[in-house]
A and B are shown apart, each in its own frame.
Chain A
């Protein structure tokens, strides 16, 4: 348990060593503001950082006592050379420049109910590579879609910013009708879309998006599907 005596306090060189610069550093029992403070580390003493969970750092004192220190307290710690300890915070700065995003979406896919998820990796503040997986459930048919594309955020530093998307993928459609024996089919798709992303708080943001899909069917005419969705996402 947190706060219990750990093994011999032999320093592991791979762990980050930090020094307390404030009068003292409070160590909580668990990774949350509600958990009790059971230990304090006085100014000048060093600690080792074991790992991080959300906004909390699991640390070990020189005496081998472990506990959780808050992100806010850790911002005031110093490195061995006296420079401040810096790390990424889940705030507006992180919203402007981050690498990974994960989101859950619900919406409409050509008249069917849409459930979607998205993971994206940002090359820079504006451009990212996105992988979207969706399931659509309609009265006439249901199926899945998987797409890979690029997204461009117009102004990443803005609280509300427009974005453009472009990509390609595949769709698997399973017709529900029992009167006509229509087989399942899979086709290649391409899409172009536009949307807007809005910063909410901490690591969360909302994203609304419209995508116009072109389904390259084996029939004479290609199929066009419009998709609307609202997504709750976070960055890390």
Chain B
């Protein structure tokens, strides 16, 4: 009887001790190991570190637009009734689309004598100041035939045949007149920033220099050099 009671007490003591031992908190590393072990069978994805860095915002660089074309030209102008004369001019253009451009131009020439003045001896129709032919025009151009030309074996240049027309004013023989200009030109680009122009334009206006009111045509041909900015 005594042995049985002793056995009972002993087994109670052992079970209590074991219980206490199991209740003892595990050290931290053991705990996390136990947790991981517990989670593993669930096949959850491994925990990743959430980045707290802001994604760098890419700053878009300013892109240069070189739509402006500036330059000068030299050629001849045939002033109706006053012969063919040397002329010079300056132009400024803005390329709006690949097809169209606006162009402002200013130019000068000086009229020579009419055949009447030459044959008539001492006759002077215009004073030296009135012989100056000055024009400006505001035009719209259209690149009709863009293309490429090949010079020799290794040189290729972009080119374009363009049509141009506009309005402006012409000062000649002491009078300022509204004038229309229209023509065509050829643009050759040895580099992307430089162009050689050859253009022919007619400048038309009404005048009464020689007594009667009439429409005069003044054809001019120029060779020019322009630069893109």
Chain B: interface size category: 35 or more
Q: A1-B156, A137-B177 are in contact. Are A30 and B148 (CB under 8 A)?
A: yes
Q: A32-B98, A113-B178, A203-B97 are in contact. Are A104 and B167 (CB under 8 A)?
A: yes
State how many residues of chain A have any CB contact under 8 Å with chain B: 47
Bound complex: CA A204 to CA B102 (Å) = 11
Q: How far is the CB of B26 from chain A (nearest CB, A)?
A: 47
Please tell me if B12 contacts chain A, counting CB pairs below 8 Å.
no
Instruction: Kindly supply a per-residue 1/0 record for chain A positions 33-69, scoring 1 wherever the CB is within 8 Å of any chain B CB and 0 otherwise.
Output: 1111000000000000111111111100000000000
Bound complex: CA A79 to CA B64 (Å) = 18
Please tell me if B83 contacts chain A, counting CB pairs below 8 Å.
no
Inter-chain contact B140/A29, CB cutoff 8 Å: no
Q: Which residues of B contact A165 (CB under 8 A)?
A: none
Inter-chain contact B178/A35, CB cutoff 8 Å: no
B contact patch SS: strand
Interface residues of A in 57-86 (CB under 8 A from B): 57-58, 79-81, 83, 85-86
Q: Which residues of B contact A234 (CB under 8 A)?
A: 94, 96, 102
Bound complex: CA A36 to CA B146 (Å) = 11
Instruction: Kindly supply a per-residue 1/0 record for chain B positions 64-77, scoring 1 wherever the CB is within 8 Å of any chain A CB and 0 otherwise.
Output: 11110000000000
Inter-chain contact B138/A104, CB cutoff 8 Å: yes
Inter-chain contact A51/B147, CB cutoff 8 Å: no
A contact patch SS: loop
Please tell me if B168 contacts chain A, counting CB pairs below 8 Å.
yes
Q: Which residues of B contact A173 (CB under 8 A)?
A: none
- For residue B56, which residue of chain A has the nearest CB? A81
Q: A30-B146, A30-B148, A102-B94 are in contact. Are A35 and B158 (CB under 8 A)?
A: yes
Inter-chain contact B58/A79, CB cutoff 8 Å: yes
What would be 10 A-B contacts, judged by CB atoms less than 8 Å apart? A14-B61, A16-B63, A30-B189, A31-B98, A34-B147, A35-B147, A53-B192, A54-B97, A55-B97, A79-B58
